[in-house]
Amino acid sequence: MRPHPRIRKTIKWGGLVICVSLTALLALSTSWDFRRVWWIQYQERSVGLTQGCITYDETVMPVTPDIFVLTPFWEAVRIDPPSISWRPRWTEEYGAVSMRLPLWFPLILVTIPTALAWRLDTLATRRAKLGACPTCSYSRTGLAPSAPCPECGDAAPQA
């Protein structure tokens, strides 16, 4: 059974948008540190994007911060000089947890199926232009347009 062309096109174009977005975030996060900070009881938690990584930090605080600081906030800080972290990290010490996942990892995971979908769509388009069977690439020259493929028995291509 062949995959539906709409599914392939959705993977192709959706993957391209995600790849471009992740690449832009990777480039932007080498120079900027973006964080969302909030407090739950005696713990400060933050999720961020810095040095090419998605980060999660959790720190136990000995005292509760001011009531005015308890509201969640975003912060963006310029990193000078720009840097990038290539390895995933997990540290847990003195009640603090820090996790980092480099953005190149999800970028690779999205790029592979996207590139495969682009390649399959390009081959299908090329075969259709050359008059070849879309399933097995058998040359259909000399066959009636409505005739099934003599090689694989697949139905005639839709015009």
pLDDT, tens only, 82-140: 888 889 999 998 878 999 999 999 999 999 999 999 998 888 888 777 778 877 878 88
pLDDT at 11 over 80: yes
pLDDT of 76: 84
pLDDT of 156: 64
Q: What is the dihedral of CA 97, 103, 106, 112, to 10 degrees?
A: -160
pLDDT at 70 over 60: no
Other residues' Cβ atoms within 10 Å of the Cβ of residue 67: 7
Instruction: Give the angle subtended at the CA of 7 by the CAs of 129 and 18, to the nearest 5°.
Output: 105
Closest-CA residue to 119 (of 12, 18, 20): 12
DSSP 30: T
pLDDT, tens only, 42-68: 788 899 999 899 999 998 876 665 555
Rounded CA gap, 38 and 70, in Å? 7
pLDDT at 73 over 90: no
Rounded CA gap, 44 and 57, in Å? 8
CA–centroid distance for 133 within its chain: 33
